[in-house]
Amino acid sequence: MSLHGSDRRDTSSAGGNGMVAASLRLRLNPNKEHKPDGYEDLQLDFSPNIFSSLERYLPPSMLNVPRDDKAKFMREILLKYLPLGERSRSQKHREYRQKIIENYQPLHRELYSVDPATFFVPSFLRAINDNTEQSFRSIMSEPSPGIFIFDIFQTNFCELLLSEIENFEKWVTETKFRIMRPNTMNKYGAVLDDFGLETMLDKLMEGFIRPLSRVLFAEVGGATLDSHHGFVVEYGKDRDVDLGFHVDDSEVTLNVCLGKQFSGGELFFRGIRCEKHVNTGTHSEEIFDYSHVPGRAVLHRGRHRHGARATTSGNRVNLLLWCRREMKRYQKDFSSWCGECSREKKERQRSTIAATKLELFRREGESTA
């Protein structure tokens, strides 16, 4: 589910609307002293972070009621802000997930909560612990502006995750369970959030990707990423072949190759664009192609246009974490990150300067004539 759009962002006035009693209005300003509960372990239709953020807006009388009651109250408010169609979609999705989680037996339970020492390579962990731009840049390359490449996962972690995914798919085939694919562009692959890995991926985003995005992608809200869509894509014989040119429904995307053996499957990047300019041409300096390496991450803005070439032999499985900001501010000026908006802005500035210069020359000419 998603909570996009400026109309649904301003939760501060939500309590004044409809069924919730007037005495239970949300506060206009958050209570910054209040330490919110965690909601990761509950099956909810919205990201646990949204509940923790919204909790600071609860009326004072509700702050200390049981967590389930707070979650119920906030869920009702959030649901009212979804259009009807989306509301029932969100309800159905919750039931769908519930059904999987009740019936699927995980194979490697150790994958379901983050264990930094066994998940990540030491260089990545050191950089995250240092938490400085310099430490981040020391472990990554930026072969093209806004595209960062670095080693992230240990081989053993990649293998365990691949084996868990295979086990899930085996269960899907055996039980003939109809699963939802990660998005409209894939016929294969699986949504990791749907079979129990949501909390682990949330921790991965919060503790390990958000610190990087805060520094590397500040202008698209990298510091305040608050939800994610986590899935795997699978290519090869009997799987998807390639992936067309697109932008992701994310502010920041983490793409990590898990394996296995394959050839082809290169990513091609073609510049960052806002919605208005998404189909404009590419400039030569925006062209960048990348060959995947197992365990290695590519981190880029969701609006960085890209696609994946055909995997010509073997199997390729990649983990994708689309990191989002549900609580987005409505943004109008994209010139800090859209290649075309910034070119247009520079062009406007250049012509204003040229016109001013011309006018000055003209006046000078008149006064000396």
The residues binding ligand AKG (CB under 6 A) are 233, 243, 248, 255, 267, 306, 308, 318, 320
Looking at the Cβ atoms of 140 and 243, the one nearer to ligand AKG is 243
Look-up of token digits 């194979």: 107
CB of 143 to Fe ion, least distance (A): 18
The two structure tokens encoding residue 1: 């589910």
d(CA 163, CA 193): 16
The two structure tokens encoding residue 165: 């995914």
Looking at the Cβ atoms of 45 and 248, the one nearer to ligand AKG is 248
Residue nearest to Fe ion (CB): 248
Cα dist. 189→173, 306, 350 in Å? 13, 19, 48
Q: How many helices (H) and strands (E) does the chain have?
A: 10, 12
Other Cβ atoms less than 10 A from the Cβ of 184: the count is 7
CB of 235 to ligand AKG, least distance (A): 7
Looking at the Cβ atoms of 216 and 308, the one nearer to ligand AKG is 308
Contact of 258 with 155, CB cutoff 8 Å: no
**Stretch touching Fe ion by CB under 5 A, among 242-250, 278-286, 335-343, 355-363:** 242-250
Looking at the Cβ atoms of 198 and 248, the one nearer to Fe ion is 248
Looking at the Cβ atoms of 212 and 298, the one nearer to ligand AKG is 298
Contact of 252 with 219, CB cutoff 8 Å: no
**Phi, psi of 112, deg, nearest 5:** -85, -5
d(CA 39, CA 25): 21
Assign 297 to helix, strand or coil.
strand
* Near Fe ion by CB under 5 A: residue from 248, 251, 286, 326: 248
* C-alpha distance across the termini of the chain, in Å: 70
Contact between 234 and Fe ion per CB under 5 A: no
**Stretch touching Fe ion by CB under 5 A, among 147-155, 170-178, 199-207, 243-251:** 243-251
Residue nearest to ligand AKG (CB): 308
DSSP letters spanning 145-157: TTEEEEE-B-HHH
263 to 302: interface string for Fe ion, x by CB under 5 A: ----------------------------------------
191 to 230: interface string for Fe ion, x by CB under 5 A: ----------------------------------------
